[in-house]
Amino acid sequence: MKTILENNTDFNVKLEPSDWRFSAAIVGLLEYFEYIDTLETSYKVEDEYILYNSELITKENYLKFVEKKYGENLHHKYVELNLEHYNQDNNENDNTYIIKSINEKLSGNTIMKKIFKKIKFDGTNRDEILSLVNKHREELILETFRNKSDMYKNYCNTNQLFNENQKYCRLVGYYIDAPKKGKSTGFGFNMSSFVGQDIQEFDFIPFAFINDRESLFINDNYEINRLTSAKQVFQEKIKADIENLELENKYRGIKYSLFKGIIESSDFIEYDVEVIVKDRDKDYFETLYIRKQSIDILKKINERKIDYNSLCFSYKINDNYYIDIYKKVMECILNNTLLDDVIDLLLKEKKNYYTVYQLININDLIRGEKIMDDKIRKIIHACANEVRNKIPENKLESYRQKLTSSIIFKDYDRV
């Protein structure tokens, strides 16, 4: 919630994390303030809100911060940095690659094509290109940031950047085209019955998300410092995971890092928390609500030394349909639903038995550890050994198949 302070001589705005949009705006604003106001004279952070001077929020400062935050992900910045380090005396192959990559960026989007037109870098016209970058820097930052699919466009209506507070929220999935659909939004087609909420500070929401193919924002809003520290801790975990997975030439996505962080870290997320998800391919935000019960289950996965990494694969149903096993398991944990269907599916192939064993252990955690205590486990192992001893080796596999089929088809009398 945003409150204008009329009698405060130091600050004129108070912002509270009343819902996830305001929480994300606060996180983005604090990153912006740390860059713009290093002396911390124009803002103040309290446990439940922040105070600041709105005069600190300007288009010029905003775009400077965007350039600092996104760096080479902005086409003109990539060109600038590579031109500054270009040396004709470098290895010929290196220079050929640099020239090619610079020219790709010079025509990388609409605004780059407009500014540089038919100019190509040939190794001799560095100063000409750098001069154009400096001359049109603000426009280059603005248009690239506004229209890039992993930047402002992923979160907000691109036509609303820098607009003042308005009746309809600027976020995608919230925004309404009033001239076309305004009447239908109100009860009984009465526009006066519609209640919307938007503030200019929502332009800072993109900075709060941690970007990947899916972007996440952890709304740990018990205190303001928890909001900022949750993002910082999560960013460090993602960076470590990406570096480790790149060594193995693997990709597992941002949600893998989220659940891995909860599983392996005792102090990452400890109580009910709301996680906002934004997929680039979707024009709306999704909410992932992680309850304390689910967090406890995730932490016990580590305590029980369950190999959750063995679940990171997709199971083929047919040529057009695959099931992401890791995603399915995490959905079951979050929704407190059993993994019986997944277990039955994987039981059909012997190569999945190790994975099935991990799923059975997770299933027991979801059940509240009411079935598979140490005593029951010992009994199960004893029964299995007794069966192995009584059935000839050449018939053991056949019996195992019959037992598996009886479980899958719920035909328990056939064994």
H or E segment at 316? strand 314-318
Packing angle between helix 137-147 and helix 75-84, nearest 10 degrees? 130
pLDDT digit of tens for each residue in the chain (415 aa)? 999 998 888 899 999 999 999 999 999 999 999 999 888 888 999 999 999 999 999 999 999 999 999 999 999 999 999 998 887 767 777 788 889 999 999 999 999 999 998 899 988 899 999 999 999 999 999 999 999 999 999 999 999 999 998 888 999 998 776 555 555 554 444 455 445 789 999 999 999 999 877 899 999 988 999 999 989 988 888 888 877 776 666 667 788 888 888 888 766 777 889 999 999 999 999 999 999 999 999 999 988 899 998 998 888 888 889 999 999 999 999 999 999 899 988 888 888 889 999 999 999 999 887 776 777 778 878 888 888 888 887 777 777 777 777 777 676 566 5
> What's the CA gap between 389 and 391, in Å, rounded?
6
Q: CA geometry: angle at 182 spanning 181 and 188, to 5°?
A: 105
> What's the CA gap between 292 and 271, in Å, rounded?
5
pTM of the entire predicted model: 0.84
